[in-house]
Amino acid sequence: MTQPPPLTLFSAAAILALTGCVHGPGTPLREGPARLGETVSVGGPSVRPVRLVEDSRCPDNARCIWAGRVVVRALVSGGRWSRTMDLTLGQPAPVADGALTLVAVTPGKSTTRPVRPRDYRFTFDFQGGL
């Protein structure tokens, strides 16, 4: 019986490099805060913020009567379903058999420097099954 040739160091490195690149359709790339257009896993569904709808937060260095709010439009997916929804900071939204919440938005607003769309990071939390 003939033995297969041993794996060379180059072959093993190539296989490991390629396995890190394999993602199935809709597979989130990572967890944690997401930029606009970036898909993240949130412990059940995956979420991709696609557009900032509103950021009326009071700047950190100002006094305001109203704290304001942040609303982001996101593509939310799980299994064989997906839907676009507007998520408001701190307000749980029903998703599948749970609730998805936009829990943090950075950076904070300032009166001295505007926040550019590419600077935003959105953090989500999902409570429930899926």
- Record the pTM: 0.74
The three-point CA angle 74-77-81 to 5° equals 125
Contacts of 8 by beta carbon, 8 Å cutoff, 6+ apart: none
pLDDT at 19: 36
pLDDT tens figures, 50-98: 999 999 999 888 888 888 999 999 999 998 899 999 999 999 999 988 9
Return the SS3 of 24: coil
Identify which of 21, 16, 39 has the alpha carbon closest to the alpha carbon of residue 29.
39
pLDDT at 13: 40
